[in-house]
Amino acid sequence: MSQTLRERLLNELDTIVLIDPHTHIDPHQPAARTLADILGYHYYTELAHSAGMLRSDVEEPDLAPREKVRRLVAHLEPLQNTIQYSWLIDIARSFFGFADEHVTRDNWEGLYDAAQRTLSATDWPQQVLRRSGLEAVLLTNDFDDPLEGWDTSVYVPCLRTDDLVFRLHEPAVGQRLAAVTGVDLASPRALREALARLFTRFTARHARACAISLPPGFTPIPICASRAETAWDAICRAPQQCGEDERQTLAHFVFWTLAELCADFQLPFDLMIGVHRGVYRGGVYQGQDLYDSRVSLIQYGELFNAFPQVTFPVSVLASVANQELTSYAWIFPNVVTSGHWWYSNTPAYIEHDLAARLEVVPGTKQIGYYSDMYKLEFGLPKFRMYKRVLAKVLAERFVIDRGWSETRALELGRQVLRGNVDRVFGPAGRAGRPRP
């Protein structure tokens, strides 16, 4: 019974038109141009490298797309068990008419050419969105992105703030901020003004979120004016020589200011908690980051207390932090569970984490999934993977274990897949927090 039930639920979930609440899509080039843009996704380069491929094989300058694909295909066999490989096959079959079980040295050229024919259609981005059931995607924009030249109702801007929080002590970053805002960054007060101008510019272009990824040790605290000034002065005077202490003070100051601006501008603040950058120094591009799972949301207690009017969609990198996430979202009105991030974005962890969330976090406070994709083609296989797990959990844990009707289970599915995305990131997006 369970399998046909899952099938039925999946088919229904598949009819829902979605908004993808977090992607890295380039709105000027949202879809792949060649198969190399798909196989060049870090999941494939890093796994192929992990299984024996030299980094230089794919990072050679001026490597032609066809050659890049040829080299990667030669290292795909050890990856055939992975869920990431299944996304590739799903893309190949769904979009490029691929009929084989595996992409191999023997058949990749046919696939490459078939992909080429499909991808070169001028309306391909619109096609792939439609065929993937996607209505819009949220982006991840640098703070100095001009935000011009695309339809922001389909490619919705989102202010990414990692550089501002963690690299503002680097002169180049400060110069970019000064340039784009026209503010002379002479003081923390001027910094705040510059940040406020970013928010004005982003919200004018219909930005729907502010977002940041954070290392495991980060613990937001407010910084008093005088301490911020001392740190900022030291950094401006001698950026190369300033110590870790000044840098951290600046990071805390900027982070807290961003939270204040999210309150002022009514933007949700996406927190993606737990990544250590550059752990594997010999790794391929975007394949060097890992984590320390020893992180607690207690570190964010003061932030959640200080900003009851800001909605925080929170992602955690390690599945062992998921129970804290569910508990904090169960207690704090302004904390929302958000998707299944990166190393936890695999069926086994999604199933475990999703089951825990669905049974204790208010149904209105769960953002089911985001794709995190760089190219639109990945929306379909990633959301499909998620929906398969969602159908399994709804079937086994709600319809079977708790005696729910299928209709009721599907309503919950719709709510986490779409309803809450509208609710949190919609024009009037506000989670279920008390109105002040």
**Footprint (CB under 8 A) of a second copy, residues 163-182:** none
* Contact map string, positions 411 to 430, toward a second copy, x by CB under 8 A: -x------------------
Which span sits near a second copy by CB under 8 A: 50-58, 62-70, 164-172, 372-380?
50-58
* Contact map string, positions 113 to 152, toward a second copy, x by CB under 8 A: ----------------------------------------
Which span sits near a second copy by CB under 8 A: 51-59, 165-173, 193-201, 243-251?
51-59
Q: Is there binding between residue 99 and a second copy (CB under 8 A)? A: no
Contact 20, 370 (CB under 8 A): yes
Alpha carbons 177 and 152: distance in angstroms, whole number:
23
DSSP conformation class of 144: T
| Residue 126: CB atoms within 10 Å | 14
Q: Is there binding between residue 290 and a second copy (CB under 8 A)? A: yes
Residue 152 or 288: the one with the smaller Cβ distance to a second copy is 288
Among 19, 32, 35, 47, binds a second copy (CB under 8 A): 47
Smallest distance, a second copy to C-beta of residue 363, A: 4
Q: Is there binding between residue 55 and a second copy (CB under 8 A)? A: yes
> Contacts by 99-108 with C-beta closer than 8 Å and gap 24+?
102/76, 102/77, 103/73, 103/76, 104/73, 104/76, 104/77, 105/73, 105/74, 108/69, 108/70, 108/73
| Residue 141: CB atoms within 10 Å | 22
Q: Is there binding between residue 344 and a second copy (CB under 8 A)? A: yes
Smallest distance, a second copy to C-beta of residue 301, A: 5
CA-CA-CA-CA torsion sign (257, 258, 264, 268): negative
Q: Is there binding between residue 327 and a second copy (CB under 8 A)? A: yes
Which span sits near a second copy by CB under 8 A: 13-21, 104-112, 149-157, 401-409?
401-409
Smallest distance, a second copy to C-beta of residue 156, A: 25
Q: Is there binding between residue 100 and a second copy (CB under 8 A)? A: no
Q: Is there binding between residue 11 and a second copy (CB under 8 A)? A: no
| Residue 194: CB atoms within 10 Å | 21
Separation in Å, CA 207 to CA 54, 145, 266: 40, 12, 11
Residue 53 or 159: the one with the smaller Cβ distance to a second copy is 53
Q: Is there binding between residue 402 and a second copy (CB under 8 A)? A: yes
Among 239, 324, 406, 414, binds a second copy (CB under 8 A): 324
Residue 269 or 304: the one with the smaller Cβ distance to a second copy is 304
Q: Which residues contact 158 (CB under 8 A, 6 or more apart)?
A: 22, 138, 139, 140, 141, 207, 208, 209, 210, 211, 270
Q: Is there binding between residue 59 and a second copy (CB under 8 A)? A: no
Among 149, 282, 427, 428, binds a second copy (CB under 8 A): 282
Nearest in space to 159 (alpha carbons), one of 257, 40, 19, 250: 257
Which span sits near a second copy by CB under 8 A: 91-99, 136-144, 255-263, 394-402?
394-402
Among 68, 160, 388, 418, binds a second copy (CB under 8 A): 388
CA-CA-CA-CA torsion sign (132, 379, 346, 364): negative
Contact 257, 177 (CB under 8 A): no
Bridge partners of residue 159, in order along the sequence: 141, 210
Alpha carbons 425 and 311: distance in angstroms, whole number:
10
Q: Is there binding between residue 359 and a second copy (CB under 8 A)? A: yes
Smallest distance, a second copy to C-beta of residue 330, A: 6
Among 126, 219, 288, 309, binds a second copy (CB under 8 A): 288
Q: Is there binding between residue 294 and a second copy (CB under 8 A)? A: yes
Q: Residue 151 CA to chain centroid, in angstroms? A: 20
**Footprint (CB under 8 A) of a second copy, residues 301-320:** 301, 304-305, 308, 318-320
Contact 255, 165 (CB under 8 A): yes
Among 10, 18, 38, 79, binds a second copy (CB under 8 A): 79
Q: Is there binding between residue 292 and a second copy (CB under 8 A)? A: yes
Which span sits near a second copy by CB under 8 A: 52-60, 189-197, 222-230, 375-383?
52-60
Separation in Å, CA 136 to CA 153, 187, 311: 7, 39, 21
| Residue 153: CB atoms within 10 Å | 9
Total residues in contact with a second copy, by rule CB under 8 A: 83
Contact 170, 239 (CB under 8 A): yes
